[in-house]
Amino acid sequence: MLTKVTSNAGQAAVSLALVLICLAGNAQAGEPLKPGGKFPTFSLDVLNPKDCGTTSFDSAQFVGLAPAEPAPLLIVVFGAWSCKPCKRAIAHLEQLQTAQEKPRWRYVVVVEDREEEARKKFLEHMKSLKSNAPMLADLDGLVLGRAGCERLPCTLAANAWGIIVGYWQKYDDGIQQQLDDLVKESKDW
């Protein structure tokens, strides 16, 4: 299913005009995804193009039938500036990634903040982490809804074949360990 949604945030500095969502698999909108299911592919505008080197992000480039730039693991964190566990999860992923010489996995942050000021603070936080991970704008919450996320942080992990290998709707030490294990395992995929 392909859905086009136009979103005009009215901000000249951040163009958030087109959101393309392509949901793979049988999950219905609002239904939580499950490990072993199909990863919902999506395309969103990038809020930090200077930091990550691109203006849009299409998850199909990383997971699915024919990924253009296959990484064994893609981790997507849905977060908001006011969510302390979201920032903790992102800081941990950034530490994991910078600790590896040539990481074979990527993470992206899907920002659920509707207010420009909150998005700016989140961008500054990412810069303080020296992160070059794409920060994506989901102003209408459509990708979040398609993923069935009911609370933040919501984290999805998928392998290069588009299979969900992890899905969490919170962040704690146990989930942190599960993410560590997934990253370690992905070296052998």
The rounded distance, in Å, linking the Cα atoms of 189 and 142 is: 31
Taking a C-beta distance cutoff of 8 angstroms, is the pair 67, 60 a contact?
yes
The rounded distance, in Å, linking the Cα atoms of 185 and 108 is: 19
Q: Mind listing the pLDDT tens digit of every residue in the chain (189 residues)?
A: 333 333 333 222 222 222 222 233 333 445 678 898 988 889 999 999 998 888 999 988 877 655 555 568 899 999 999 999 999 999 999 999 998 888 888 999 999 999 999 999 999 999 999 998 999 999 899 999 988 889 999 999 998 888 999 999 999 999 999 999 999 888 766
Instruction: Identify the CA nearest to 162 among candidates 16, 23, 50.
Output: 23
Q: Which amino acid is at 19?
A: V
pLDDT value, residue 4 = 32
pLDDT value, residue 89 = 96
Three-state helix/strand/coil letters over the chain: CEEEEECCCCCCCCCCCEEEEECCCCCCCCCCCCCCCECCEEEEEECCHHHHCCCEEEHHHCCCCCCCCCCCEEEEEEECCCCHHHHHHHHHHHHHHHHCCCCCEEEEEEECCCCHHHHHHHHHHHHHCCCCCCEEECCCCHHHHHCCCCCCCEEEEEECCCEEEEEECCCCHHHHHHHHHHHHHHCCC
Q: Is the bond preceding residue 153 a cis peptide, omega within 30 degrees?
A: yes
pTM: 0.79
The rounded distance, in Å, linking the Cα atoms of 37 and 27 is: 8
pLDDT value, residue 53 = 86
